[in-house]
Structure 1
Amino acid sequence: MVPALERRVVAVTDTSADDSAPSGSSPARPGRWQGLVRTRPELVVAATGGLLMLLTSGRYGYHRDELYFLEAGRHLAWGYPDQPPLVPAAARLMSLLLPDSPMTLRLPSTLIAATVVALSGAMARRLGAAPAGQVLAAVTTGICGFVLGMGHLLSTSTFDLIGWTLLTYLLLRLLQGGGARLWLYAGVVAGITLQANVLVGFLLAGFVAGVLVAGPRTLLRSPWPWIAAVLALLVGLPYLVWQGAHGWPQLDVARGIARGDSGSSASRVAFLPLLLLEVGPWLVPVWLFGLVRLGRDRVLRCFAVAFVLLLVVFVLTGGKPYYLAGLFPLLFAAGAQPFLDRVGRPWVVAAVLVLSTPALVFTLPLLPVSAVDPVIAVNYDAGETIGWPRFTRQVADAYAGLPPGTAIVTSNYGQAGAIDRYGGPLGLPSAYSGHNGYAAWGHPPGKTPALVIGEDPALLADSCTDLRTLGRISSPSDVDNDENGTVLRWCVPARSWRELWPSFTHLG
């Protein structure tokens, strides 16, 4: 490392260091692209993308996870078996502001996606990109399938995306000689992100491993990174204490994901192809340029090492491709200007972007419901936003012919959340479910007969003295989602629900 650059890295302990001047980068360069846009163009791109998401966020309906978050928000706690408390709390807040509005519920996600796009452009500028490079970084981030999908729905991964992006932005500034206060910001961001999604721990571990492998190791000789780590743990401590007190159920959820129990799980063989598909196949050259650019920079090489290490870890542990989503804004930022410099032809750049626009169709609710099955084949989550009011009406039709006081037991939290959200005006009671957080919110009293939705027939055969099929759910336009064809059954329990409930409880 050249002495001047090493002094910049060591300067992380100096709070008076200049945070604005980029190092480990080339200065913004004039040229054919220079006059394309003006200062801070990433904000225009971010605002445009945010507006598109806002205008489409109310179509189709709630996702099954969002219905669960709404109910979890009515049972506020420091933790749940499958997630930290931040997203249910956000769902509770948004439902108080404007109840029964998917658009309002998703407003935090829309703002997060727009902020991530702006941060990618800002990182490109810090890495020496000209205005056109900043625009390309923002646009490629904005049409990345991960960002579009997470920006459309309220989810724990959405908050993880902004947490990872903010952390990489702060760590980039620190590597470029930023002051010690940036470590404090990083600690707070990491702690808050931990209250939404535990995957942020992988980013921090990956970054430390990258620094140990590729340098600059002087970064870790300062006390500030360790102070930041302690601060992050303190902010995230309530959730960690809750998990410890309940036997770490999050680990059971992770094992279920690795087994393929989740609807969006990916096999180890399919991990990399799905990653390329979900980011956007035409965008591969841009972020690969970024990975190479980071790998060639002695100061920033730790980011490239961290990406490769985390890719290997998530493949080996059976993770999902989107676990890496938070590193792509940095990769696009690093690769935008090298891509422009190497390609040099505006029509090629335009072609890459135009060919990437189908990501909008596969992530946002742009098609009519009758034409959405091809989208569901690529994007499982699209199907889980369709048909919940119809589902609840069909449950209500079956329930109307049953004795008064019959309970409703569902096989998953989406079904239970839909009944709790839409069932009241149709005369339905609150639902019970043994799935994840719902399991702790109660079970039917005594030996109350129940309308059971979608449970394992073998389990019901062992649990019910009287078991009859009442009908099946049909989705709008026969959409191929998880609930289409779900069986409704009448069950008279053989024993009290208190005794049966452990058999109905499951995580995943």
Structure 2
Amino acid sequence: MAVEFGARTVRVTPGRHRAADRLPPFAWGEVATITAVAGVLLFARLDRYDYGGDELYFLGAGRHPAVSYADQGPGVPLLAALAEHLAPNDTVALRLPALLMTLIAVVLSALIARELRGGRGAQTLAALAYAVTPAAVLQAAMLSTYCFAATLAALISWLFIRWVRTHSDHLLVLAGIVAALDFQVEWPALLVWAAFALGFALLGPRQIFTRPAWWIGTGLLAVSVVPAALWQHANDWPQLAMGALIRDQRDLASMPWEIVLLTGPMGVLLLAGMWAGFRSPRLLPYRFLIPVVVIGVAGVLGGCLRPAHTVSAFPGLFAAGAVYLAHVRLPRRLRTAGVALTAVATAICVGAVLGLPRPQSELRQPTDRYARFDWRSRVFGPGGWDDLLTGVDAAYRRVPMDQLPGLVLVTQNYWQAAALDHYGPPVGFPAVYSPHRGYAYFEPPPDAGTTVLYIGTERPQVALGIDFAETVELARIDKWFGYPGVNQHVAVWKCRYPSTPWSAAWPGLRRL
């Protein structure tokens, strides 16, 4: 049959590939060794970091199961709830899925290289390249939406690449199922599927649109969207507002540098993969991937997506680069430089895994801006929850006994709420509420809660926009080397008798 790839037409055999077109053997030994070594190193540091703010939020969201949340799908909170049920307060159990997704991405890099007819050397290089990127080290460190979305999008790429070679239509259905799972993690899964569709439409093979399996896969994704869309519609589409929020929070000038930090020295192989996608004849049938990469990078540089969203393209680009370099004659000097670069990348990642996090005693300057959160969390780890808990406990003890019945906690941001929601119940704290992010769409404080302890960096009247008959500051949490909003510049206020019942005021207090 004839298959169109943009302006060119290629003759292919429908059904499974012929014997003459069999792929090279899979590099089981090499890939298994890389995966096992990476798994052992990354597993050994899973319990070194305290809970991250978002991890505590996943645990909190898992206690409020829903078909959608203001800022994500239900997948990660459900996994967090399962981990907490099976192994309470165990960061290793919580983070095991992130480690598993990272190792799957390592194997996918090799599998894609094999699909592109790369031999053992190319497959090994692709797997090693992913394993020694800073992106992989970060992906396995903590539970996150990105650790799932990156690997699931790469899995969809592999399924489509394999379909182009085999024309086995069940792969298209599987791709739709994976995309539906990806959507339960993050809404950008819809953008990924749309980018693939655009790639097929522009660069072929366009015959994919004549396959019922394509439409079945697309239909499965569409059906998976319905429950979340209904929830979003009922709550004024907070997920759509997240794109503008991400754009406002990002420093666009630093985006390219952040991508470089994610790739590390192996970014050179990524560039080779991009070059091969445009120039290599052997990759002609797979150029439908180009719009996926271009749209992802454009979304990051435009500020609508985070730099981590580019990681889903790493397995395919590493594979393309490895296969391309395996089939071109490079001067010995360049080959030696490539080996040295790979060794440097490996040393950097092994050093980061073994040497991080650094002790808090090595901090030399305060984290006085939210923009420094990410860097400090990676180097020194998250923290400050014990100070937050101690400060709230001190304020709680100062509340007169006759005011304790019905008292609730209200926090300014969702990290504070998640931390107190997790650490508070064992020490007897009351229920926690917050008008921020996902917590804003859980239940509001009861109208009977006329006395609250408000935790925030601003006065309650300013932060909430409602008045109280009585407002008294009971405690202050302000560590010089603390995190802003966690254990720095935070006060605990006792507020009594809000001017508006919580049920009426709450929808207007919500913010992302």
Answer whether TM exceeds 0.5 for this pair: yes
- Report deviation, 1:460: 5.5
Partner in structure 1 of residue 454 of structure 2: 452
- Report deviation, 1:469: 3.3
Point out the more displaced range, 310-319 or 143-152.
310-319
Partner in structure 2 of residue 6 of structure 1: 10
Q: Is the 1:56–1:366 contact (alpha carbons within 8 Å) kept by the matching residues of 2? A: no
- Report deviation, 1:151: 1.8
| Counterpart residue type for residue 413 of structure 1 | Y
Match for residue 358 of structure 1 among 338, 348, 367: 348
Q: Does 1:144 align with 2:128?
A: no
Partner in structure 2 of residue 333 of structure 1: 319
- Report deviation, 1:449: 2.4
RMSD of aligned C-alpha atoms?
3.1
Q: Is the 1:161–1:326 contact (alpha carbons within 8 Å) kept by the matching residues of 2? A: yes
Q: Is the 2:478–2:490 contact (alpha carbons within 8 Å) kept by the matching residues of 1? A: no
| Counterpart residue type for residue 392 of structure 1 | L
Match for residue 486 of structure 1 among 474, 486, 489: 489
| Counterpart residue type for residue 289 of structure 1 | A
SS in 2 for 1:152: coil
Once residues 20 and 371 of structure 1 are traced to their aligned partners in structure 2, the CA distance between those partners, rounded to angstroms, is 61
Match for residue 310 of structure 2 among 302, 319, 324: 324
Once residues 202 and 289 of structure 2 are traced to their aligned partners in structure 1, the CA distance between those partners, rounded to angstroms, is 11
Q: 1:332 to 1:379 in 2, by over 3 A?
A: farther
Q: How big is each residue's C-alpha offset from its partner over 1:353-391, in whole Å with a ceiling of 9 and x where there is no partner?
A: 343343566688442233367996763653673232332
Q: Is the 2:199–2:292 contact (alpha carbons within 8 Å) kept by the matching residues of 1? A: yes
Q: 1:499 to 1:373 in 2, by over 3 A?
A: farther
Q: Is the 2:27–2:124 contact (alpha carbons within 8 Å) kept by the matching residues of 1? A: no
- Report deviation, 1:75: 1.3
Q: Is the 2:3–2:206 contact (alpha carbons within 8 Å) kept by the matching residues of 1? A: no
Point out the more displaced range, 284-293 or 478-487.
478-487
Identity of aligned residues (%): 29
Q: 1:39 to 1:103 in 2, by over 3 A?
A: closer
Q: Does 1:469 align with 2:473?
A: yes
Partner in structure 2 of residue 407 of structure 1: 408
Once residues 72 and 166 of structure 1 are traced to their aligned partners in structure 2, the CA distance between those partners, rounded to angstroms, is 27
Point out the more displaced range, 449-458 or 197-206.
449-458
Q: Does 1:113 align with 2:90?
A: no
SS in 2 for 1:52: helix
Once residues 47 and 311 of structure 1 are traced to their aligned partners in structure 2, the CA distance between those partners, rounded to angstroms, is 31
Q: Is the 1:19–1:178 contact (alpha carbons within 8 Å) kept by the matching residues of 2? A: no
- Report deviation, 1:148: 2.0
Point out the more displaced range, 117-126 or 38-47.
38-47
Number of equivalenced pairs: 485
- Report deviation, 1:155: 1.5
- Report deviation, 1:146: 2.4
SS in 1 for 2:492: strand
- Report deviation, 1:18: 6.2
Q: Does 1:498 align with 2:482?
A: no
TM-score w.r.t. the length of structure 1 is 0.86
Partner in structure 2 of residue 104 of structure 1: 93
Q: 1:238 to 1:44 in 2, by over 3 A?
A: farther
Q: How big is each residue's C-alpha offset from its partner over 1:427-454, in whole Å with a ceiling of 9 and x where there is no partner?
A: 3222111112222223154352222111
Once residues 168 and 95 of structure 2 are traced to their aligned partners in structure 1, the CA distance between those partners, rounded to angstroms, is 35
Q: 1:19 to 1:45 in 2, by over 3 A?
A: farther
Partner in structure 2 of residue 371 of structure 1: 362
Q: How big is each residue's C-alpha offset from its partner over 1:274-314, in whole Å with a ceiling of 9 and x where there is no partner?
A: 2122222x122101111111223321122123211332244
Once residues 278 and 308 of structure 1 are traced to their aligned partners in structure 2, the CA distance between those partners, rounded to angstroms, is 17
Q: How big is each residue's C-alpha offset from its partner over 1:89-139, in whole Å with a ceiling of 9 and x where there is no partner?
A: 111111111111011011111111111111111211222323232222112
Once residues 380 and 22 of structure 1 are traced to their aligned partners in structure 2, the CA distance between those partners, rounded to angstroms, is 49
Q: Is the 2:49–2:381 contact (alpha carbons within 8 Å) kept by the matching residues of 1? A: no
Q: Does 1:270 align with 2:254?
A: yes
- Report deviation, 1:393: 2.3
- Report deviation, 1:5: 8.3
Q: Is the 2:395–2:475 contact (alpha carbons within 8 Å) kept by the matching residues of 1? A: yes
Once residues 323 and 114 of structure 1 are traced to their aligned partners in structure 2, the CA distance between those partners, rounded to angstroms, is 18
Q: 1:501 to 1:240 in 2, by over 3 A?
A: closer
| Counterpart residue type for residue 498 of structure 1 | S
- Report deviation, 1:474: 4.5
Point out the more displaced range, 285-294 or 366-375.
366-375
Q: How big is each residue's C-alpha offset from its partner over 1:390-434, in whole Å with a ceiling of 9 and x where there is no partner?
A: 321232123222234242111122111111211223332221111
| Counterpart residue type for residue 488 of structure 2 | G
Q: How big is each residue's C-alpha offset from its partner over 1:9-42, in whole Å with a ceiling of 9 and x where there is no partner?
A: x73xx4x55699568xxx68xxxxxxxx964422
- Report deviation, 1:156: 1.5
SS in 2 for 1:57: coil
Once residues 302 and 20 of structure 2 are traced to their aligned partners in structure 1, the CA distance between those partners, rounded to angstroms, is 39
SS in 1 for 2:89: coil
TM-score w.r.t. the length of structure 2 is 0.85
| Counterpart residue type for residue 47 of structure 2 | G
Q: Is the 2:392–2:492 contact (alpha carbons within 8 Å) kept by the matching residues of 1? A: no
Partner in structure 1 of residue 286 of structure 2: 300
Q: Is the 1:470–1:487 contact (alpha carbons within 8 Å) kept by the matching residues of 2? A: no
SS in 1 for 2:150: helix
Q: Is the 1:432–1:444 contact (alpha carbons within 8 Å) kept by the matching residues of 2? A: no
Q: Does 1:93 align with 2:74?
A: no
SS in 1 for 2:314: helix
Q: Does 1:190 align with 2:179?
A: yes
- Aligned positions of 1:64-213 closer than 5 A: 64-213=53-202
Match for residue 251 of structure 1 among 240, 245, 266: 240
Q: 1:385 to 1:145 in 2, by over 3 A?
A: same
- Report deviation, 1:459: 3.1
Once residues 169 and 292 of structure 2 are traced to their aligned partners in structure 1, the CA distance between those partners, rounded to angstroms, is 22
Q: Is the 1:290–1:338 contact (alpha carbons within 8 Å) kept by the matching residues of 2? A: yes
Q: Which runs of 5+ in 2 are unaligned?
A: none
Q: Is the 1:67–1:417 contact (alpha carbons within 8 Å) kept by the matching residues of 2? A: yes
Match for residue 394 of structure 1 among 373, 391, 395: 391
Q: Is the 1:295–1:305 contact (alpha carbons within 8 Å) kept by the matching residues of 2? A: no
| Counterpart residue type for residue 441 of structure 1 | E
| Counterpart residue type for residue 309 of structure 1 | I
| Counterpart residue type for residue 437 of structure 1 | G
Q: Is the 1:207–1:306 contact (alpha carbons within 8 Å) kept by the matching residues of 2? A: yes
- Report deviation, 1:44: 1.9
SS in 1 for 2:305: coil
- Report deviation, 1:349: 3.2
Once residues 19 and 68 of structure 1 are traced to their aligned partners in structure 2, the CA distance between those partners, rounded to angstroms, is 52
| Counterpart residue type for residue 490 of structure 2 | V
Once residues 351 and 427 of structure 1 are traced to their aligned partners in structure 2, the CA distance between those partners, rounded to angstroms, is 56
Once residues 87 and 125 of structure 1 are traced to their aligned partners in structure 2, the CA distance between those partners, rounded to angstroms, is 31
Q: Which runs of 5+ in 1 are unaligned?
A: 29-36, 261-265
